[in-house]
Amino acid sequence: MEKEYTPQIIGFLCTWCSYTGADLAGVSRLQIPPSIRVIRLMCSGRIDPLFVTKAFISGSDGVMMMGCHPGDCHYQKGNYYTRRRYKTINSVFESLHLDTERIFLSWVSASEGVKYAHVTKEFSDKITGLGPNPVKKEIFL
Amino acid sequence: MSKKIGVYICECGTNISDRIDIDSLIEEISSLEDVGVAKKYGLLCSPAGKKYLAEDIKKEELTHLVIGACSPREHEQTFMKVCLEAGLNPYLFQMVNIREQCAWMISDKEAATRLAIKYIRAGIKRVALHKSLEKIELESNPDVLVIGGGIAGIEASLSLAGPERKIYLVEKTDALGGMTNKFAQLLPHQGANLSIVKDKIEQVNNNEHIEVFTSTAVEDIHGFLGNFEISVTNQEKDSEKKEFKAGAVVVAIGFGLYDPKETPAFGYGDVENVINALEFETMISSGKIVLKNGKPPASVALIHCVGRKEKGYCSKTCCLYSIKFARYLKDKLPNVDVSEFYQDLCLPDKSDQNYFEEAKKKGIHFIQSDEIEIKDINDRIKVKYKSAEGKKEELSVDMAILAPAMVPSQDTPKMAEMLNLPLDETGFFKEAHEMLNPVATPIEGVFVVGCALGPKNIPDSIVQSQAAAGKILSTLIPGKKLEPEVKTAEIREEFCTGCQTCLSVCFYGVISFDEHKGISIVNEAICRGCGSCVGSCPSGAIKIKHFTYPQLYREVLEALR
Ligand SMILES: Cc1cc2nc3c(=O)[nH]c(=O)nc-3n(C[C@H](O)[C@H](O)[C@H](O)COP(=O)(O)OP(=O)(O)OC[C@H]3O[C@@H](n4cnc5c(N)ncnc54)[C@H](O)[C@@H]3O)c2cc1C
Ligand code: SF4
Ligand code: SF4
């Protein structure tokens, strides 16, 4: 029997809000798909579009960017850059005919463990539906 | 030097060991390059655990450390301290979260173990790329520069001054007191005449820890929290220059008034006996309320909200001081007919409603109105308006007193540039966070208080000054050194093209442009380490310590392997 396909997803989370929210999901014993691999950053503003590309090249099937809600950034403005960079990545992917559905941005606060569980499950289900990332083997660079 | 990485997996009682097969995890990772030891332990954060860890680091002569345990938010600091005790640089350590975000999230033990292995491997490969980082300590000056000698600046100075803290209070005019110097009196419940302001000015003048500079302009401020360098010049004494240092800056440069001429409908400067609020305060001070022809007015219109629509905000104070004027008029000229034309009444504080009710009892008319137009008709003032019911109405009066909107002080843009502070859409200074951090600014150690932040009355200005003083007193403790963030950004000279993109990205004004070298430089003493600038640099010139590209790429790669 063929083994059920489990995607690999990289999540870039800021430590102050989203990472704390993810911890809370664990403390609350909410179930998170094992497909999610979290990389902790001080601020989501550290997310460079290159990280996303790098994650896909390294074999990721999806990439999540998560930070504090707009207006709540620990560093005041970092997540506005995240939002802008998310748009940039999307348009670059579009112009290369790559699948933008595999990139996901969400604001998760330190108290939103339930939201974290919810959005990670939804995204993981979506990626499972899309199947393995077709570009990961053939991408240039 | 060859690496010897120690990997310690915490069972966390049974919190982790029940959910993750620690033995097979250790078996998987112990053969990885540079891993010298891989062990498990019951409760690493317990006193016995910490002792065991410190001893093991020394005994095994570890060069790097990875701990798989709870969230770094829980115990990263704890284990960093252990590293220090054991003589290992705490930044050569990586904490891997296999509890909250692994054991507790994934009920299938096999899947959880597989994920934990990936996380630990990522931690091992990441830590191998870590560099030692050293904490630095900076001397910090406890003194404070206060700019602006209005009630806000006065209160800040009085709250901060003390034997171990000198205050430099710089006022550009020749007297302390600010706008209140132009008033005849305050609201009745704020005390008789202007005694509260006068008392405070006297306290300032008698305080040996406050040095007052009047008729003085701030020429330059540079530096950062704990270490600002300031130069000021006296505008009178042949531009005498003075230089001093301070650890914090309080900006209290107050406000100006909207020029009613900008809206010709108010007739200011055009129609005789239309005056503004400050001119009326002067009239009260002189003791004579008279028209241009020397006679007292038989009827007066008080026009609120002059410039409110144009500026797009309510000035909070005008309703109350207009009622102050009406009551004053009634007291001095008992037969005078007084009408207040308002758009909305702003009575926010607990004593305000009562104050308003009493004014109504004195026979003052309150007319809700819009589209005010003031005309000169046969040498009388005609106030045309649209009533609350939407009808066009008019009223003839002898005198009209305008209550202009409070606008930013004219020096605001200059001061903002000097201190690298943002302004908001109204042109006043912008708070670091309107709700959560209302008197701080993005620049650490720089605070804005009073009407420089936006319209408000004297009590609210005092509250803000005391708030800023509280913040300063708890950060700039005399004798205490500052410990700046260690994981800071760094610009590599050879890559920077001097495009200055990063300057606008950094919210904290940490990066500046070195004209001489043609490149940008990070002031590491004030960098908060958010990393926002890194991804913005088109040349890849910025590096952020402990979150470098190689470190993060490696972590990503291993987490996916
Ligand atoms: C007509 C009128 C009546 C009012 N009546 C009342 C009342 O009865 N009760 C009440 O509570 N509030 C009243 N207010 C509001 C009150 O004026 C303000 O709340 C108060 O003045 C705010 O104090 P401040 O120190 O922030 O600003 P300001 O009083 O404006 O003081 C700012 C000071 O900074 C100085 N300054 C400006 N730029 C510089 C610079 N670059 N360098 C150095 N110094 C500088 C100015 O010269 C001034 O001395 C009234 C306002 C108006 C317009
Ligand atoms: S964005 Fe990069 S290249 Fe441009 S000034 Fe800043 S560090 Fe230099
Ligand atoms: S890391 Fe953040 S605080 Fe430091 S220079 Fe860059 S943007 Fe500014």
Instruction: Classify residue B210: in a domain, yes or no.
Output: yes
Residues B393 and B445 in one domain: no
Instruction: Classify residue B557: in a domain, yes or no.
Output: no
Residues B269 and B375 in one domain: yes
Per-residue pLDDT tens for A83-117?
999 999 999 989 888 889 999 999 999 999 999 99
Write out the H or E segment, with its range, that includes residue B184.
Answer: none
Mapped onto helix, strand or coil, the DSSP state of residue B519 is strand
Residues B392 and B457 in one domain: no
Q: Find the ligand nearest to B528 CA.
A: 3
Q: Measure B558 CA to nearest chain A CA, in Å.
A: 9
Residues B369 and B442 in one domain: no
Pocket-testing residue among B494, B495, B497, B506, ligand 2, by greatest number of atoms within 8 A of Cβ? B497
How high is the pLDDT of residue A77?
86
How high is the pLDDT of residue A1?
40
On the question of pLDDT at A138 being above 70, the answer is: no
Pocket-testing residue among B457, B463, B465, B466, ligand 1, by greatest number of atoms within 8 A of Cβ? B457
CA B116 to chain centre: 42
How high is the pLDDT of residue B277?
98
How high is the pLDDT of residue A137?
57
Which residues in chain B are closer than 8 Å to A10, comparing Cβ atoms? 556, 559-560
Question: Does the beta carbon of B537 sit less than 6 angstroms from any atom of ligand 3?
Answer: no
- Give the DSSP letter of residue B265: G
The CA distance from B499 to B525, in Å, is 23
Nearest chain B Cα to A43, which residue?
B530
Q: What number of other Cβ atoms are within 10 A of residue B437's Cβ? A: 13
Q: Find the ligand nearest to B442 CA.
A: 3
Nearest chain A Cα to B71, which residue?
A23
How high is the pLDDT of residue B125?
97
To the nearest 10 degrees (0 to 180), the angle between helices A78-95 and A49-57 is 50
Question: Does the beta carbon of B528 sit less than 6 angstroms from any atom of ligand 3?
Answer: yes
Burial A67-93 (b: 16+ CB within 10 A, else e): bbeeebbbbbbbbbbbbebbeebbeeb
* For residues B284-294, average pLDDT: 94
Burial B461-473 (b: 16+ CB within 10 A, else e): bbbbbbbbbebbb
The CA distance from B279 to B265, in Å, is 19
Chain-chain contact of B535 with A49 (C-beta, under 8 angstroms): yes
- Give the DSSP letter of residue B99: I
On the question of pLDDT at A141 being above 50, the answer is: no
| Closest to B89 measured CA to CA, from B100, B78, B80 | B80
Q: Which amino acid is at A33?
A: P
Q: How far is CA B174 from CA A116, B194, B368, in A?
A: 59, 18, 41
The CA distance from B284 to B279, in Å, is 9
The CA distance from B422 to B449, in Å, is 14
Q: Is residue B396 a contact partner of residue B382, using CB atoms and an 8 Å limit?
A: yes
Q: Is residue A28 a contact partner of residue A105, using CB atoms and an 8 Å limit?
A: no
Helices then strands, each counted (H, E), chain B: 14, 25
Percent of chain B clearing pLDDT 90 (strictly above): 92
Residues B292 and B397 in one domain: yes
CATH of the domain at B46: 3.40.50
The residue from B68, B100, B133 where one domain ends is: B133
Which of B507, B531, B561 has the CB atom closest to A42's CB atom? B531
Residues B38 and B160 in one domain: no
The residue from B101, B133, B165 where one domain ends is: B133
Helices then strands, each counted (H, E), chain A: 5, 4
* For residues B188-199, average pLDDT: 87
Percent of chain B clearing pLDDT 70 (strictly above): 100
The CA distance from B89 to B81, in Å, is 10
Q: Is residue A118 a contact partner of residue A125, using CB atoms and an 8 Å limit?
A: no
SS3 content of chain B, % helix, strand, coil (to 5): 35, 25, 40
Among B530, B544, B553, which would you mutate to test the A interface (most chain A Cβ atoms within 10 Å of its Cβ)? B530
* For residues B421-428, average pLDDT: 94
Instruction: Classify residue B139: in a domain, yes or no.
Output: no
* For residues B35-52, average pLDDT: 97
Q: Is residue A93 a contact partner of residue A99, using CB atoms and an 8 Å limit?
A: yes
Q: How far is CA B550 from CA A7, B53, B129, B545, in A?
A: 24, 28, 8, 11
Handedness of CA B116, B122, B123, B128 (dihedral sign): positive
Residues B10 and B54 in one domain: yes
Where would I find the beta strands (DSSP E) of chain A?
9-14, 36-41, 62-67, 103-107
| Closest to B81 measured CA to CA, from B96, B97, B65 | B65
Q: Within 13 A of B208's CA, how many CA atoms are on the CB side?
A: 2
| Closest to B301 measured CA to CA, from B185, B393, B184 | B393
Q: Quote the pTM value.
A: 0.79
Domain count, chain B: 4
Domain membership of residue B357 as a residue range: 260-405
| Closest to B117 measured CA to CA, from B20, B35, B41 | B20
Per-residue pLDDT tens for B494-509?
999 999 999 999 988 8
Please tell me the total number of residues recorded for chain A in this structure. 141
| Closest to A77 measured CA to CA, from B526, B524, B506 | B506
On the question of pLDDT at B252 being above 70, the answer is: yes
Residues B170 and B294 in one domain: no
Q: Is residue A54 a contact partner of residue A93, using CB atoms and an 8 Å limit?
A: no
Residues B283 and B385 in one domain: yes
* For residues A48-54, average pLDDT: 93
CB < 8 Å from A in window 410-469 of B: 432-433, 442
Q: How far is CA B282 from CA B179, B185, B325, B409, B480, in A?
A: 12, 10, 12, 20, 49
Q: Within 13 A of A66's CA, how many CA atoms are on the CB side?
A: 32
Q: What tokens were used for B86? A: 């054991």
Which residues in chain A are closer than 8 Å to B544, comparing Cβ atoms? 46
| Closest to B384 measured CA to CA, from B263, B259, B266, B261 | B266
Non-local CB neighbours of A98 within 8 Å, separated by 6+ positions: A135
Q: How many CB pairs under 8 A join A and B?
A: 123
Per-residue pLDDT tens for B107-143?
999 999 999 999 999 999 999 999 999 998 999 999 9
Nearest CA to ligand 3 atom 7: B506
Mapped onto helix, strand or coil, the DSSP state of residue B341 is strand
* For residues B532-561, average pLDDT: 95
| Whether the complex's predicted ipTM surpasses the cut of 0.90 | yes
Q: What tokens were used for B395? A: 């009223």
Which residues in chain B are closer than 8 Å to A111, comparing Cβ atoms? none
Top CATH class of A9-140 equals alpha beta
CATH of the domain at B421: 3.50.50.60
Give the largest Cα separation in chain B, rounded.
102
Residues B267 and B400 in one domain: yes
CATH of the domain at B531: 3.30.70.20
Q: Is residue B100 a contact partner of residue A27, using CB atoms and an 8 Å limit?
A: yes
Q: Is residue B273 a contact partner of residue B399, using CB atoms and an 8 Å limit?
A: yes
Per-residue pLDDT tens for A75-88?
888 999 999 999 99
Q: Is residue B395 a contact partner of residue B372, using CB atoms and an 8 Å limit?
A: no
Instruction: Classify residue B482: in a domain, yes or no.
Output: no
Q: Measure B172 CA to nearest chain A CA, in Å.
A: 33
Mapped onto helix, strand or coil, the DSSP state of residue B111 is helix
Q: What tokens were used for A72? A: 């709540």
Per-residue pLDDT tens for B436-467?
899 999 889 999 999 999 999 999 999 999 99
On the question of pLDDT at B261 being above 50, the answer is: yes
Instruction: Classify residue B503: in a domain, yes or no.
Output: yes
On the question of pLDDT at A4 being above 80, the answer is: no
Residues B333 and B373 in one domain: yes
Per-residue pLDDT tens for B4-23?
999 999 999 999 999 999 99
Instruction: Classify residue B385: in a domain, yes or no.
Output: yes
On the question of pLDDT at B36 being above 60, the answer is: yes
Alpha helix locations (H) across B128-184?
151-160
Report the alpha-carbon angle B45-B47-B52, nearest 5: 85
Question: How would you classify residue B37: left for phi > 0, otherwise alpha for psi between -120 and 50, otherwise beta?
Answer: beta
Asked if B379 reaches chain A (Cβ–Cβ under 8 Å), the answer is no
Which of B107, B108, B556 has the CB atom closest to A10's CB atom? B556
Chain-chain contact of A75 with B106 (C-beta, under 8 angstroms): no
On the question of pLDDT at A3 being above 60, the answer is: no
Q: Measure B217 CA to nearest chain A CA, in Å.
A: 31
Residues B268 and B168 in one domain: no
How high is the pLDDT of residue B425?
94
How high is the pLDDT of residue A82?
94
Q: How far is CA B322 from CA B20, B187, B318, B451, B458, in A?
A: 72, 10, 6, 18, 15
How high is the pLDDT of residue A96?
84
Chain-chain contact of B507 with A31 (C-beta, under 8 angstroms): no
Dihedral through CA A106, CA A107, CA A112, CA A114, nearest 10? -10
How high is the pLDDT of residue B61?
97
The residue from B449, B475, B501 where one domain ends is: B475
Q: What tokens were used for B48? A: 């016995």
Please report, in angstroms and rounded to a whole number, the separation of the first and last CA atoms in chain B: 28
Nearest CA to ligand 1 atom 13: B457
Q: How confident is the model at residue B363 (pLDDT cuts 50, 70, 90)?
A: very high
How high is the pLDDT of residue A140?
46
Per-residue pLDDT tens for B199-225?
999 999 999 999 999 999 999 998 889
Write out the H or E segment, with its range, that includes residue B249.
Answer: strand B248-251
Chain-chain contact of A81 with B536 (C-beta, under 8 angstroms): yes
Q: Which amino acid is at B352?
A: D
Strand pairing category for B392-397 and B210-213: unpaired
Chain-chain contact of A37 with B531 (C-beta, under 8 angstroms): no
| Closest to B432 measured CA to CA, from A82, A72, A76 | A76
